[in-house]
Amino acid sequence: MARILIISDLHANIEAFDACLNAAPAYDRVWNLGDLVGYGASPNEVITLSRRIGDTFVRGNHDKACSGIVEPHDFNAAAAMSALWTRDQLTPEHLEWVHDLPAGPITCDGFPAQLSHGSPFDEDHYLIDVVDGCQTLAEARVALNLFGHTHIQGGFAEADGKCFRIIPDYQSDTELEQWTFEMQPGAGYLINPGSIGQPRDGDFRAAFALWLPQENSITFYRVPYNIAGAQNKIRRAGLPEWLAHRLSLGR
């Protein structure tokens, strides 16, 4: 029986990453859905820890820009500056490792799931609205599709002839919380664990998920962390102030 920790969009935020791992229950494997770097000021630390705990990764759009696969021409000014700064900060080994991360989707032997950064049909596509999510589920080849990129925890499901959005129901906006979603046999799912390093769903807390295949359940987590520490590092690095400020807004 396996317990799969699902993480995404760490964005060089080691404070949030540490808090999530400290809060996570026992797990056997870690699946990382990309964007380990960009925005935050601790890219080498996040990569080192990510490689230590897991070996299953897909690349994100910031991973591509920060490693030189693409230039950040389509990024906003703050994101582009961060990508170029990160490229200069990465150790040669980490730069090569990020450059060589695989494009999604990938599958994992023995599991009815596939991993992508954006859509399973386009690694750079933002799956945000329910119409897009339902169309993607209709064309998906596996029952469980894991994605990130939007920094919005939750996802979409198609069950009993209906397609709907999954939105975790939390009672607080400051405490450590979890919310479990029971999956139905024969249904299809697009699951986003949320962003560890830069949530954008109005909740500043770092986000991740745990999949228990044997129990057919996904548990979403929200974790408070040392935001001030992450913000101070961004400011000391000379990165745009907006990248620090938005962490406390969850946007």
Band (pLDDT 50/70/90 cuts) for residue 208 is very high
Residue-wise pLDDT for 16-42, tens only, equals: 999 999 999 999 999 999 999 999 999
- What is the rounded average pLDDT of the residues 157-182? 95
- State the DSSP string of the chain: ---EEEE---TT-HHHHHHHHHH----SEEEE-S--SSSSS-HHHHHHHHHHH--EE---HHHHHHTTSS--TTS-HHHHHHHHHHHHHS-HHHHHHHHTPPPSPEE-TTSSEEE-SSBTTBTT----SHHHHHHHHHH-SSSEEE--SS---EEEEEETTEEEEE----S-SSS-EEEEEEPPTT-EEEEE---SS---SS--SEEEEEEETTTTEEEEEEE---HHHHHHHHHHTT--HHHHHGGGTT-
Residue-wise pLDDT for 94-150, tens only, equals: 999 999 999 999 998 889 899 999 999 999 999 999 999 999 999 998 999 999 999
Band (pLDDT 50/70/90 cuts) for residue 221 is very high
Indicate whether this model's pTM tops 0.95.
yes
- What is the rounded average pLDDT of the residues 66-77? 97
